Structure formats: C-alpha cells, structure tokens
Structure 1
Amino acid sequence: MEAGDTPTCRVIRPGGSYDGKQGLSYFEGIARETVGSTGICMHLLTIPPGARAKAHLHESHETAIYVLSGEAHTWYGERLEEHVIVRAGEMFYIPAGVPHLPANLSDAPCSAVIARTDPHEQESVVLLPELDGLAA
C-alpha cells in the first residue's frame, strides 16, 4: 500500500512468504505494508515437523494464535520456564513483552493463524539468543 492511500476493505490471498526474524517462514497477510493497517497484523504460519523458532518477545504488542492443524510446544516466561502444548482448535494468548519459543516436535506440520497488535508484524520482534538453549 502506498503512503497517502485511503484505507479500505481488502481481501488478502496469501501467496508470497517471508522469513521472520524468529527463524520461521510466514505467509504474507494483513499488515501496514499490504493493507495500510494501523493497529493489527494477521498472518498464516506453518511450522514444519522438527522446526523451532528462535527465542524472542514482541515489545509492546500482544499476540493471539489459533492453531488450525497439528500442535505447537511453546516455552515462555523470563527464562522459558513455562511450557504449554497448543493443539488444533485451540487458541493461545501471549502478552506483550513475554519471552517465548515455539517448536513443532511432532511428525506433522503445525499451521496457525497469528494476529498481533503490531501493524508492521516484525517491527517489535526482539531476539533473545541467550534463551535459545533453555528450551528442549
């Protein structure tokens, strides 16, 4: 979307993808860059079997996830001391500023819809390499 364009309703058909700072590949979706959103982004993510993200947090932005298929293990907390398994049909909320690391430990892909209160999607991502070795 060009600067100065008036926002309007838009249908987005995920086609292209991009590599996120977190180490996973995302399908293009709703963001400031695609539709001119000012307070939200939404994307599709498929985590291949055995893949995991880098430990990270999103400064000042909340995240809501709906798992479409498969399951994701997620470690979270200041030292990734908490663990949850989010399965198909379940939703998962991550408050702003909470370190987390998702992984797919299964033999099947995990697909999810991810919405965040960050219209630039990757802008608020802060990598936490010091935590990468703490999760299984």
Structure 2
Amino acid sequence: MSDSQNASSPISSQEVVTIRPDTQTPTRQNLPYFVGISAATAGTKGISLNLVIIPAGGTAEPHFHKDYETAIYLLKGRVETRFGEGLKQSVINEEGDFLFIPPGVPHQPFNLSETEPAQAIVARNDPNEQENVVLYSPEV
C-alpha cells in the first residue's frame, strides 16, 4: 500500500492509493470540493469520488454532467435538489439518503439549513470530474 497522497500527486495504476485532501478546490458549480479519487489524484480511468460542502443557506450553480452519471450520499444536512428542464421538479434529501442523477439532467442543490453546512460524497463515472460539468440556464 502506498502512503497517502495529496490531491495533486497522481500515482501509478498498480498501487493502492489513499487520498487525504487538505484543501478545498473551487468548482464550476461554485461549491467547495475536497477532491478525493480522480484521474489526477489516483490515476483512475472511469470514476471520481469527492466530498462536497454546501455552505449554510448555500446553493450550487445550475448545471449538468455531460454523458456521466452521478451518485450522491448525503452525510449531513437537508438538501433540496431542483432538476429537469427549467429546474421545475424537486426532491428533498436528508442525512443518510442516496441520490442518483442521470447523465445530462440539469440540477441545482440548495442547502435548506441557514445555520449548518450540508456535506455529501459525490461519485461519477467520470475520472476527470470537472471537465464535463456544463453550466445550465433554466431560462433558456
């Protein structure tokens, strides 16, 4: 097993990799991410796994993931996710819920707490994570 890596030290594909991200990474969605497993950090070819924080009362920019599925596990908080054309549909998820977002589905999460951040683990079948994020305008 290799030593832990920071988020900017890729490793060969023949080693077990531990990532301990110590800094937030800004994203196109305008949410702080702690980059975990990705092509850049672990040499993955088909998956990324990250920790996302939605600040108290915060939201992400509306967006979708071109050609890639998203799975989310909500660790902490209550989050409303508006989704679909015009973001007219919504679902509320709580701590312990799993959420699946199909490829290309526009969505926008909102932290329903004004006092506590929400935290979630986000997995995608995209090793590059941010390269296929497309910002979405619900008015178009």
TM-score by length of 1: 0.90
1:96-135 deviations in whole A, cap 9, x for unaligned?
A: 000000111213211000001110000110001x22x7xx
Which of 7, 14, 19 is equivalent to 2:26?
Answer: 19
- Verify: 1:126 aligned to 2:134, yes or no: yes
Q: Which of 50, 60, 74 is matched with 1:67 structurally?
A: 74
Aligned to 2:5: none
Q: Give 3-state SS (helix, strand or coil) of 2:87's partner.
A: coil
Deviates more, 1:49-58 or 1:5-14: 5-14
Match 2:100 to one of 71, 93, 96: 93
Give the share of equivalent positions with the same residue, in percent: 43
Counterpart of 1:66, as a letter, is Y
Query: How many residues were matched structurally?
Result: 130
The aligned amino acid for 2:79 is A
**RMSD, aligned α-carbons:** 1.5
| Aligned partners of 1:31 and 1:42 also within 8 Å | yes
Take 1:6 and 1:25, find their aligned partners in 2: how far apart are those partners? 27
Gap regions ≥5 residues in structure 2: 1-9
After TM superposition, give the deviation of residue 71 of structure 1 in Å. 1.1
For the pair 1:76 / 2:83, whether they are aligned, the reply is yes
Q: Given that residues 7 and 36 in structure 1 are in contact (C-alpha distance below 8 angstroms), is that contact kept between their aligned partners in structure 2?
A: no
TM-score normalised by L of structure 2: 0.88
> Which aligned segments of 4 or more residues in structure 1 are displaced greater than 4 angstroms?
none
Match of 2:58 in 1: 51
